[in-house]
Structure formats: structure tokens, C-alpha cells
Amino acid sequence: MKFIITILATSLLIFSCGDKSNESSKSTGNGTGNQSTGTATAAGGTTAGGASGTSGAAGSTAGATASGGTGSTSAGTGTTGSTAGGTGTSKPPENTKFSKGPYGIGVKDILGEWTVATLDGDFEFKKHFDGSESYFFVMYAGTHNYSKALWGSSFANFIKATPKNVRLFLLSYNSTFKKDLEDQKKRFLNDIKSLDQKTQDHFKERVHFVVEDARKIKGALGDVIRKRPGLFFGLDRNQRIRELGSLSYMNSPPAFQWMAKEAEFFNFEIEREKKLNTKAKIVKAMDNFIHKGGWGSTHSSTFDVELPAKNDIEKYDTLLVDFDMSCEDHLDKNCPDWDHTARLFLCRKDDEKKCDLEVARWITTYKREGRWVTDISPVLALFGEGGKRKFRYTSPNKNSLVLNFRFSNEGKGMRPVAFQEIFKGGSFNQEYNKKQKQLTFKNDGSFKKVETYAILTGHGWGKDVDNCAEFCNHVHFITLNSKEKFMREHKIAGQTYGCMNQVNNGVVPNQYGTWILGRGGWCPGMDVLPWREDLTKALVSGENTLDYKALFKGTDYTPVPHPNANKQGLNASISLNSYLIFWK
């Protein structure tokens, strides 16, 4: 569905999984500095308290005494811990997780060192950052209506929606910056009274009120703000500057709580990286390839890929496709506007002009970048004996593309060796199922597994009463030997938050369009997850039959024209390519 909203503010973000604090505050004179679960008191001097780590990460404690003051320490609860203590000039251990660079101030650059003064004392970035928390920065511009609305939005709603390992820094561009932040802290403390005490205490340590003119902040943070004087941005767990997308949805006012979805997404990114097999053989298919897009001759790009040779490819039982779609300077404003289908086809070995074997599919974002890693292991059967093969990529969007195949052996004891093309889609109406013919295949007992592999999405909206097939729950059935039925349905289709609730599965959040709405088999800014069904246990010896049909509300779909049909709408259709995959 095509709908876009205007970019109203520059944005960036960071996120982390697990609840880990490594926080300190300085106190000069007869003050008290609180640090996570540790405290430090100094008389006539400055003392830093200890740091604590949770969620199975390393924890450390440090204490110091200066100028007659006393320092207290708190122990971390991670799997490993170290303690440093002393008097006079003793220093806490260096944060070895802080990146050594190279640093920059552009989007996706690593951010260097900075320190800011807050209402609770100085905050030193290098001392705190350890890759476990997200950092958000919101700058207040009193003459900007969007900024006013964001600044006045609910802290409680943000806290209820966000992972706990988030830090929020509030700053002001105004000459009245100190009063702005004092007033904002009062509002924050009042707003979170509805939350339980434990949650209040947790976020009191993680919402920071910066009492410096945002334009005059020193260090790397100030450099970023001066280069890109927007209203919000952040850092991810890899210490990289990141955009946050749109913090408002359609015509609704902006709100802090939309940052929570970015935090959730960065958590997903970290977990995704952990699961990747570092020993996988990586074959580059596209390396910063500029796909021109459009609807004419540049809609398709063809390219050759040198797959592993026969003796090598036969070692692998697993195949992932790692696809990165980026925009100039990694800026949202330079990304294509619409959500479109992007598809990868393998050209036939006996006729390279016929590139119709679809192996993977994605739906692009509304004006944001994206990266997706998809398990397409059954496609190993299509790759056959490997070697040089031609591929075709199609999309109307212009992007810089990186596409890698990741081959690995995960000890499955078998691998895909052969395939048979089966069912295809088409216009979704009362004729759809009539066009689907029964197929047969033989089981000679030599295969360890036989499965179906289908790439399936529903499209069409605004033409019929049921808004099919983008926003309706079309249900698909594969029947083996007229007995065993395998089903794929799309329960989130048409649900208001259907796709928003898929951020933890890879949906790019905070897009500039109707990204939150559930779709029939896809979401904007996500890979299309293949529909796979294992038929092995239900096979019979010799000839087997397969039937396929798609229903809506238990029957063949008969579109009922909408009395106020959208002139830009599309008729219902099912985009389907499917295969039988044989494993040995």
C-alpha cells in the first residue's frame, strides 16, 4: 500500500539487549555522586563510584578515596567480576568495550569521546558505554511545533514501551536551556509517578537532563549536533550514529514512545549477528552495486555469481542470504519513498535468458535503509553443482545493494539435492483455484526429507470490500495424497499494529508510511519468510499427489467491488513461486 509522510526532523538512535548499567556521576565539594548501585562521597574532592553489570555480562567494582572523602563500591552481577580499590589517584579499570575507532560524525560512523554536564552531574561517554545500552538524544527547539509536541509527550508511555537498557539525553537549543531542562525534569518525575517504584528508580538513572547549550557542547557529540542540527538521533550498541526514522505516525503528533521500537530493533540486530556462523563461506553476489530501479529497462539487474564448485558446495547443508539495502550517506531523506517488492531470481542453467526461478523476496521500506538475513537452505537444490551462475534482481527502487550468500554445514546429516517446480499464483478471485492443477511426484525411498518451499505474498487493496489480498487473511492449503493438509494463514493482515509487532523479527521501524499495518504475507521493510512444510512422514512409496488452493473465510474468493473504490487501488492477487525440495 502506497502512502508516505513528510520527514519533519533529522533522526538517529541506539539500542542494547539486557539490562546493564555502567553509570557514574561526579560530585565536587561536599556533594554525593550516585552510580548505579554504588555511591561515592567526597569532601573537597571528586570521587567516582563503582560500576555494575548484569545480564550475564562482565561486572566490575571500583572505589576511591580523595581529599578525606570516602568511596564505596558495588559488585557486578555478571559472569565475571573484578575489583579495584585504593586511595588518592587510583582510577577505575579502563572500559575495554569502548571502540577505538576510527571515529566520525556521519550516520553509521562510530562516535568518539564526549562529556556533558547534567542536572545530576557530569556524564562521561567513554566511562559508561560498553555496548549494552541504547542512547537517544532529543534536542528542544522552542519555536518548532514538531519539537514542542515531541518535548511534551509522555515519558511514562515511552518507558512502558521500551526495553530497559536505554538512556535518554534531553538537550535544548534555546538560550533558556537550563530552565528548559529543569522544567522538563519536573515534568518527567511527575509523569512517571504512575509507574512502580522499581521502574521509576531504574529510569531516573537513565534519563539525563543536559544543562549545556546544545550548540556549544564539546567533543564528538557536539560535532554531530553542529553538523546535523536536527531534533533527535542516537547510537546503536556498536557505538554507531543512527537515524531514528519518523517519531510520529501519519497525522498523529510525535512522541518519545516511538523510540522504543528503534530500541527493540537494535536489540534484534545484535541478536541476529550473534546467530551468524562465523565460519560460513561467504560468496559476494552484489558488493555496493547500484541498482537504478524504475519501471523500464533498469527495473532488472542481471549479474554473474561464482558459487562454490561441485566438490565444495556438496559440503554445505545450510544457505543464508544476507541482503543490505542502503541509501546515499545512509540518510533517510535519500531513500526511495515507497514500499515495493524486491526479488532475486536464478537464471536457468540451460537458458540464461530465462531468469524465473525465484529464490528470495523482500518488501522495501518507506524511505529507510534495511538489512535482512534469511534462511533459504532449500535453494541449495536449485544451485545444483555450483560454479558460475547468472542471477536477476528486480525492484523499482534505486539503492546501493550488498548481497552475500552464506554457506555453512550445521550438521543436519543431509542436504537439498533436487527440486521440482510446483504451484504459482495469479489474480485472486473465483477463478484462482480452478487454475491450480494436481501434481504428482515419485518417492523411491532414497530421500531423507521431502519438503515444500514457497515464496508467497498477497497484494491488492482499495478495490473490493474485503481489501484483499494485502489486508485480508487469505489462507493457503497444500494437500498431500488427498489426506494430509498443510496450511499457511495470515492472521496479522488488516490488524492495526500487525507489522509494528514484528519489529523483533526484523521489520524496520519508524518508516515514513503505513508500516505498522499488518499485511497478508509480508510487512514493509522486511524479508518475506519462506513457507516450508515437511512432507516426509506422510509420503507413500511410489507415486504421490499434491493439491493446492487458497481460500478466504473458508471458500473460494469472490471479490465484491467496494462502492467507494480507491482509484489508485489494485485488484487482489497472490504472488507465489513454489518448489518441492528433495534432501539426501
Asked if residue 34 has pLDDT above 50, the reply is: no
Tell me which amino acid residue 545 is.
T
pLDDT at residue 147 greater than cutoff 70: yes
In one-letter notation, the amino acid at residue 443 is: N
Q: Which residue has the cell 471479490?
A: 559
| pLDDT score for 93 | 56
- Name the CA dihedral angle for 274, 278, 284, 290, rounded to a multiple of 10 degrees: 30
Classify domain 8-18+98-275 at the CATH topology level.
Glutaredoxin (3.40.30)
**Residue 31 pLDDT greater than 70, yes or no:** no
Cα-based torsion angle of the residue sequence 372, 373, 376, 377 in order, rounded to the nearest 10 degrees: 180
pLDDT above 80 for 417: yes
Query: Using an 8 Å Cβ cutoff, are 154 and 184 in contact?
Result: no
- Residues 340-373 as b/e (b if ≥16 CB within 10 A, e otherwise) read bbbbbbbbeeeeeeebebbbbbbbbbbbbbbebb
Query: Average of pLDDT values for 512-519?
Result: 97
**6 vs 441 pLDDT, higher one:** 441
Q: For residue 438, with 0-12 CB atoms within 10 Å meaning exposed, 13-18 middle and 19 or more buried, which class applies?
A: exposed
CATH of domain 414-584: 2.60.120.230
pLDDT of residue 228: 86
Cβ neighbours, 10 Å, residue 453 = 23
Give the tens place of pLDDT for each residue, 86-124.
333 344 456 679 999 999 999 999 999 999 999 999 999
Secondary structure class of 584 (helix, strand, coil): coil
User: Residue 206: what pLDDT?
Assistant: 98
How would residue 251 be classed by pLDDT, with cut points 50, 70 and 90?
confident
Pairing, β 281-291 against β 526-527: unpaired
Whether the per-residue pLDDT at 315 is higher than 90: the answer is: yes
| Confidence class for position 134, pLDDT limits 50, 70, 90 | very high
For 390, half-sphere exposure in the C-beta direction (CA atoms, 13 angstrom radius) is 14
Domain boundaries, the chain: 8-18+98-275, 23-94, 276-409, 414-584
**Is 118:107 a contact under the CB 8 Å cutoff?**
no
Q: What is the mean pLDDT of residues 554-564?
A: 96
CA distances from 332 to 366, 418, 510 (A): 9, 42, 11
335 burial level (CB within 10 Å; 0-12, 13-18, 19+): buried
The vertex-189 CA angle with 186 and 190, nearest 5°, equals 85
Distance of CA 276 to the CA centre of its chain: 15
pLDDT above 80 for 556: yes
Q: What angle do CA 221, 227, 228 make, to 5 degrees?
A: 90
Statement: residue 577 has pLDDT above 80: yes
Q: Give the pLDDT band (50/70/90) at residue 504.
A: very high
- Residue 432 CA to residue 40 CA, distance in Å, equals 72
332 neighbors 512 (Cβ within 8 angstroms): yes
Is the separation of the CB atoms in 245 and 368 below 8 Å? Answer: yes
Q: C-alpha dihedral over 280, 286, 289, 291, to 10 degrees? A: -130
Query: Residues 565-575: what's their mean pLDDT?
Result: 95
Question: Does position 379 have pLDDT exceeding 60, yes or no?
Answer: yes
Q: Is the pLDDT of residue 71 over 50?
A: no
Looking at the domain 276-409, which fold is it?
Jelly Rolls (2.60.120)
Distance CA 160, CA 549 (A): 43
Question: How far apart (Å, rounded) are the C-alpha atoms in residues 397 and 19?
Answer: 39
pLDDT at 94: 60
**Top-ranked range on mean pLDDT: pick from 47-56, 69-78, 387-396:** 387-396
Instruction: State the average pLDDT for the chain.
Output: 86
Q: What are phi and psi of 183, to 5 degrees?
A: -65, -40
Segment 16-43 shows an average pLDDT of 30
Higher pLDDT, residue 50 or 168: 168
- Cell 514484528 -> residue: 502
With beta carbons less than 8 A apart as the criterion, state whether 265 and 369 touch: no
Q: Are 133 and 163 in contact, with CB atoms under 8 Å apart?
A: no
Q: How far apart are CA 342 and CA 371, in angstroms?
A: 13
* Residue 486 pLDDT greater than 80, yes or no: yes
Report the share of the chain in percent with pLDDT over 90. 82
Q: How far is CA 391 from CA 54, 208, 238, in A?
A: 47, 51, 33
Task: For residue 108, give the DSSP letter.
Answer: T
Alpha helices in 92-250 (DSSP H): 125-128, 145-151, 155-161, 177-191, 197-204, 219-227
- Measured between alpha carbons, how far is 263 from 346 in angstroms, rounded to an integer? 36
Task: Provide the whole-model pTM.
Answer: 0.83
What is the model's pLDDT at position 60? Answer: 31
Q: What is the DSSP letter of 231?
A: S
Q: With a cut of 60, say whether residue 408 has pLDDT above it.
A: yes
Q: What percent of the chain has pLDDT over 70?
A: 84
Does this chain's domain 8-18+98-275 share its CATH topology with 414-584? no
> SS3 sequence, 22-87?
CCCCCCEECCEEEECCEEEECCCEECCCCCCCCCCCCEEEECCCCCCCEECCCCCCCCCEEEECCC
Q: How far is CA 474 from CA 53, 468, 518, 573, in A?
A: 47, 8, 13, 10
